[in-house]
Amino acid sequence: MRGGGGAAELAATLIWLVVLTNAINLIDGMDGLATGVGLFAALTMLTAA
């Protein structure tokens, strides 16, 4: 385990979450089709992990 660097990592994580949230909102629009995209992304990450 490494120590330090927590502030920069926290900032990068928060920025990444905001960017991803906005990307899903742009894909979704008003039709709700982003569920399939989100499911595919989640399953891909589950497989990669």
pLDDT tens digits, 1-49? 566 678 888 899 899 889 988 888 887 776 677 777 788 888 998 999 7
pLDDT at residue number 4: 64
Q: How far, in Å, are 3, 15, 18 from residue 43 at the CA level?
A: 31, 23, 21
Residue type present at position 16: W
